[in-house]
Structure 1
Amino acid sequence: MNISKYILANICHPPEYGKVEFINHALIGLDRSGIIQFLLKPTDATYQEKLKQAKKEERLIAFDDSKLILPGFIDLHIHAPQWPQAGVALDSPLYDWLDNCTFPLESKYSNPEFSKEVYNNLVDTLLAHGTTTALYFASANKNTSLSLAKICAKKGQRAFIGKVVMDNPDQTPDYYRDESSQSALLETEDFCKEVEKLAQNTLQGIYPVITPRFIPSCTDSTLKNLGELAQTHNYYVQSHCSESDWEDSYVFNRFGKSDAEMLKSFGLLGPRSIMAHCVKLDTTGANIFAETGTSIAHCPISNAYFANSVLSVAKFQRLGINIGLGSDISGGFSPSIYDNLRQAVIVSRILEDGVDSSLPSEKRGKANSRITLAKAFWHATVGGGQALKLKLGLFKKDYSFDAQVIDLSTLPTYGGFDNQDSLWQKALYLTNSPSIKAVFVQGKKVYQNQL
């Protein structure tokens, strides 16, 4: 067994849905590609032998008990060009927010220097918040979308990136849209080929993604052609589905069918498809998602602003739909998946308990809707990995060693709250960027906290 690096640390991960495993002094062996080859506990028969070998070969990276290693987080929904407007205009309706704030900003990404400045800062920020894998909407500009891919490749973040397609003149401004359905398809094909070429020399992986903004932004022919392109090349697909009352109504008025039904008819749903939001997904739509293997990117912060509803995570999970988490920058103001997993727990409790205190408790909410912190942890890690069809989110043989090093000394762990059960909960509820001391992607350190 060719082991190039050994990690000795206290680790925590969610091996099953709703369960958390905490291992003190775990010894992890990585191959040259940063893939886990073994994980040993101190009680395992070969533990001491392997530890001695690691020290002798001087290939051991050891973390003391003041550090806790968590899996890197997976953000399944980021609008990279919207980073400069994070926290702005969130009181506006979705339609106005797009027309008056978002589209004018995204149109600026024809400027290469502006694009590089924003994208460099965004990727640095996400890594500093423990996001090791990101699924990005770039802009409608092919060239600067490619620059985002190059930045992610250079900085070591695993990234899935799509050049946004939007060619419907009825729903997009004349200053910011694809020139035609044909040009949209050609530029998407070119973009995918360029990213695949870049990926040949990118260890952690850079992947092209077919990215119709959402049905309202695209013409019928474009949606059909993108679906065929995705199926021909087995590309990933991302878009929005049933995000709000407005979007849902628009699609039904245009086609007489739901968002999910139309996305399926255009060939845009499948095992490598990730649809954001989905709060208005009905029973028919949920069954389509389950049948096609389509995943949901749950964006609990942005949903509070633009979705007009709360995603019923527990219900959809029971129906067999895979769910990961997304920040939805900038509909969501925070770049932190920590903030989003906390919000996922909070909104699930609100959904179950209800909000109208004038109603009796039994009529106030939706029963069996809450999720636990452990389940939210799973969605932030394993759920994202399953959506992307990669072995991510766990410390387990054949999985990528994507990890974030949490400094427990920055958290209030005194007064008897220093046991395993307290520590992982405190880490998830209280960690912010200053508490993250280092981040690894596929065994390579890609972020070091200098504070």
Structure 2
Amino acid sequence: MGKYTQIFQGTAFTSDSPKKLSILKDYLFCVNADGMIEKIVAPKQADYQLLLDTYKGQENFHRLAEGQYLLPGFVDLHVHAPQWAQSGTAQDLPLYDWLNEYTFPLEAKYSDLTFAKKVYEDLVDTLLSNGTTTALYFATVHKEASILLAEICAQKGQRGLVGKVVMDDAEQNPSYYRDQDTKTALINTEEFILAVKELAQTVKQGVYPVVTPRFIPSCTDEALKGLGELALKYDTHIQSHCSESDWAHHYVQERFHKHDAFALNDFGLLTDKSVMAHCNFLDDNDASLFARTGTAIAHCPLSNAYFANSVLPLSRFMAKGIDIGLGTDISAGATPSLYDNVKQAVVSSRMLEDGVDTALPAEERGVPNSRITINEAFYLATAGGGDSLNLPVGQIQENYTWDVQIIDTKVSTAKLPIFDDNEDLYDVFQKLIYNVRPENIREVWVQGEKVHSR
């Protein structure tokens, strides 16, 4: 019975499916040396008391205090790591101006590794403190700084999937911030992939290279083709933006006479390891292609409100069987918190269903059957993100990684409105999701290792 590296006793909330939440009251969670959940034991099971007798009082036994709960670590499917340095600025500008006046000048600075280290270390610390245990990152065009981001994730214990961004089209990108040429972009990408794969051999929680064309307008056909070939050669994850805004959607139609989804697929960029951000303008044919290829969507509800000109028809895409998770889209989404985006996912879905133009009759104002529940939004931030990446993360269940947040509802500076010790646990769950602040996140564990505590 002494084979477990850690045992936790407490109440956990985890998603079994988009609509079904499991409440595991006072269970035992047994974690092995690989950081995997090897066994989960309910209080009524025969070996529950035997495990307690064996481990209780040991250093590796953790009994959650009254008012503390376990949640899965969050999975953030879309983070522009360099943009952390401008988060919260220029949110009222049009996307084109925001990119050219703020974002591209900032991202160009990451040729300076001292600057990159300062920002990236702070970002990874901040995301961990907000409960994000797995993050899918866009870095910049700079190979060295992109490798540095992967190294920082490795050092700090976060599971990082990192992409060196490709922007090789001289006509579409600023002269001061782009790849030198297509050949260089592909060579640097391959060298980046090899460097991160070598790093990954030493990292318990995993770091992963990601093939990352910024989006179709920033890349030549030759680069898109070459990136698809590299992803196939090295079996990597792939990420990009897809059908985000009116401008981007129409640009691709004019260039290829087809939608983004089909253009990306032609270049080998839609696979079961692909995650495409936004996707607000997908039509039913595009969505069917996503489902058929196993391509996932990174839903960024706060960012969409600022820059995407639309609301994602989330319920429609979920009904088609597409894997969907949540992304903060730092810095277009000006918060490092997936809690904020869980709430906004619910809000946006209700606004889509109800509509916003009161000049129209109520029955014509919105899109019927668009709203989602808090259970579904929580699923997107956890299990949905894990499924989107094809990784055993985002759920508290056997054979998944021990990636968890320990939430304390009784922190004096951020006490949650729970006044009855016997309150219904589903109501407690809802209060957690709507009210948790970073102060409430007392510990964060990734792959069985504590990576953050307050």
Q: CA deviation at 1:394?
A: 1.2
Please say if residues 9 and 65 of structure 1, whose CA atoms lie closer than 8 Å, have aligned partners that are also in contact. no
Q: Which whole-Å CA distance do the structure 1 matches of 2:424 and 2:37 have between them? A: 27
Letter in 1 for 2:72: P
SS at 2:12 equivalent: strand
Between the aligned partners of 1:55 and 1:34, the Cα distance in structure 2 is 20
In the TM superposition, 1:115-154 aligns within 5 A as 115-154=116-155
Match of 2:236 in 1: 235
Q: Distance in 2 between matches of 1:154 and 1:233?
A: 24
Q: Partners of 2:406 and 2:170 in 1: how far apart?
A: 47
SS of 2:79 mapped into structure 1: strand
Deviation (angstroms), 1:355: 0.8
1:293 maps to a residue whose letter is G
Rounded to whole Å, the distance in 2 between the matches of 1:141 and 1:355 is 42
Pick the aligned partner of 2:426 from 415, 421, 425: 421
2:193 counterpart residue number: 192
Aligned residue for 2:64?
63
One-letter amino acid of the counterpart of residue 136, structure 1:
Y
Q: Which residue of 2 aligns with 1:430?
A: 435
3-state SS in 1 of match to 2:71: strand
Partner in structure 1 of residue 315 of structure 2: 314
CA distance in 1, matches of 2:39, 2:237: 30
> Which amino acid in the other structure matches residue 71 of structure 2?
L
Partner of residue 212, structure 2: 211
Q: CA deviation at 1:58?
A: 4.4
Give the equivalent residue in structure 1 for 2:275: 274
Cα distance in 2 for partners of 1:304, 1:59 equals 45
**Secondary structure in structure 1 of the residue aligned to 2:382:** helix
User: Which residue of structure 1 lines up, in the alignment, with residue 115 of structure 2?
Assistant: 114
In the alignment, the residues of structure 1 paired with residue 363 and residue 58 of structure 2 have an alpha-carbon distance, to the nearest angstrom, of 63
Q: What does residue 440 of structure 1 align with?
A: 445
Specify the SS of the correspondent of 1:276.
strand
Tell me the CA shift for residue 417 of structure 1. 8.0
Deviation at 1:25, TM superposition (A): 1.2
Aligned residues: 449
SS of structure 2 residue aligned to 1:29? strand
Which amino acid in structure 2 is aligned with residue 234 of structure 1? D
Q: d(CA) in 1 for partners of 2:421 and 2:430?
A: 14
Q: Per-residue displacement from partner, 1:278-302 (whole Å, max 9, x unpaired)?
A: 0011112111101101000000000
Counterpart of 2:56 in 1: which secondary structure? Answer: helix
Q: Report the residue type matching 1:303 in the other structure.
A: N
Gaps of 5+ in 1: none
Offset at residue 419 of structure 1 (A): 2.2
CA distance in 2, matches of 1:345, 1:20: 16
Question: Equivalent residue for 1:356?
Answer: 357
Code of the aligned partner of 1:294: T
* Mapped pair 1:331 → 2:332: yes
Give runs of aligned pairs for residues 281-296 of structure 1, distance below 5 A.
Answer: 281-296=282-297
What amino acid is aligned across from residue 405 of structure 2 in structure 1?
Q
Deviations 1:251-284 (A, max 9, x none): 1111111111100001100100000000011112
SS at match of 2:40: strand
CA RMSD of aligned residues (A): 1.1
Paired with 2:58 and 2:308, the residues of 1 have a C-alpha distance of 54
**Match in the other structure for 1:378:** 379
**Deviation readout 1:150-176 (Å, 9 max, x if unpaired):** 110000000000000000111101111
The Cα shift of 1:418 comes to 2.9
Unpaired segments of 5 or more residues in structure 2? none
**Which amino acid is 1:419 matched to?**
D
Given that residues 10 and 65 in structure 1 are in contact (C-alpha distance below 8 angstroms), is that contact kept between their aligned partners in structure 2? no
Please tell me whether residue 160 in structure 1 is matched to residue 161 in structure 2.
Answer: yes
Q: Which of 52-61 and 199-208 deviates more?
A: 52-61
**Letter aligned with residue 435 of structure 2:** L
Counterpart code for 1:266 = F
Distance (whole Å) between structure 2 residues aligned to residue 190 and residue 71 of structure 1? 34
**CA apart distance, 1:100:** 1.2
Identity of aligned residues (%): 51
